[in-house]
Amino acid sequence: MPSRPQPTLRALCRMSLALFGLAFTFGPRGLRGQVRPEIYPVETVTLGTQQILSGQRNGQPTLLAGELRIPPGNGRVPAVILVHGSDGLSLSVERWAQQLNGIGVAAFLLDSFSGRGITSTINDQSKLHSLALIVDAYKALGILIRHPRIDADRIAIMGFSKGAFAAIYSSNERFRKVYAPVNTARFAAHIGLYTPCNVTYHDDDKVTGAPIRLFHGTADDWVAIGPCRAYIDRLKKSGADATLTEYPGAQHGYDIFFLGTKPEAHPEAMTTRNCQAEEGEHGLIVNSKTGKPYDVNDPCVERGPHLGYNEAATAATVKAVKEFLITRLRPNQ
């Protein structure tokens, strides 16, 4: 990846402060002025697909930013790291942070784009591979496990589309062993909304033991649900606590509340809905059908998927996620 000028910490803080301003503009009235914001530099590295799959740790030094939202109260609280999708941090991620704070859970909004000079990967996913977000997520975990208000044993991860990939596949022991901040560190739970599951990695059914929860719309023509069904089946056969909740008729991005309910086409957006790939030798990804090297230029990659809000699916997901986190993380509400 070409070298880009690294933003200063001050610039990153300005970005994050601007985002926090949204919380007071759009946040629940009862939480305004009570949630404590803390902004952190996230020192990570940018690695390519083969580098990560080969277990390399040394890549281009990269400075990102993350914003921690601590709910009202005293004592240690659980937390969830929120990993955005291909559109970067948005109001939909912000709303999830509010939902988490509302049940007594801290939220860490991780920005994997701004520090890399990226605003979106919707039209070009080669700008940043989804595997790189796993590295970022573990760097964020390293910050939270040292925080005096966060319970290090109750930190979950949740992501959306591209970020859901990181949220779910960070459960793989293979990646945890290489990128966790300390040998014993792991996420307490893994949650993904409309997760890309169409690449099979070596040992991706060998997971940490933390529960895995996927939520997906059956009408998603951006990220196909079929490969996630297959992945969940493989995880269950290996003994993992993994489930996939399906919402009939729901589109990709069904929880993005500012979208219309009518599916909205994105003519230039990349979709791998009809691709199936797997890890070959030496960290090379190949097309499962052709056996040839696979990347965004593969003939199976298409354009023109849709987004659409689904109020019922969103409400059901919010309810399910809250109930799951209350049971798993035991916040003091």
Helix 9-26 to helix 91-102 angle, to the nearest 10 degrees?
70
222 has a pLDDT exceeding 80? yes
6 has a pLDDT exceeding 70? no
206 has a pLDDT exceeding 70? yes
Stated pTM of the model: 0.92
Q: How confident is the model at residue 275 (pLDDT cuts 50, 70, 90)?
A: very high
Q: Residue 220: what pLDDT? A: 98
- Give the residue extent of every domain in the chain: 9-329
Q: Residue 21: what pLDDT? A: 47
190 beta partners: 157, 212
Rounded mean pLDDT, 313-333: 95
Which tokens go with 233? 């089946």
Residues 9-329: name the CATH superfamily: Alpha/Beta hydrolase fold, catalytic domain (3.40.50.1820)
Q: Residue 289: what pLDDT? A: 97
3-state helix, strand, coil in the chain (%, to 5): 30, 25, 45
Q: How confident is the model at residue 181 (pLDDT cuts 50, 70, 90)?
A: very high
What does pLDDT average to over the chain? 92
- The SS3 call for residue 36 is strand
Rounded mean pLDDT, 281-294: 97
Q: Residue 24: what pLDDT? A: 39
Smallest CA-to-CA distance from 308 within 197, 245, 217, 226 is with: 217
- SS3 for 45-108 is EECCHHHHHCCCCCCEEEEEEEEEEECCCCCCEEEEEEECCCCCCCHHHHHHHHHHHHCCCEEE
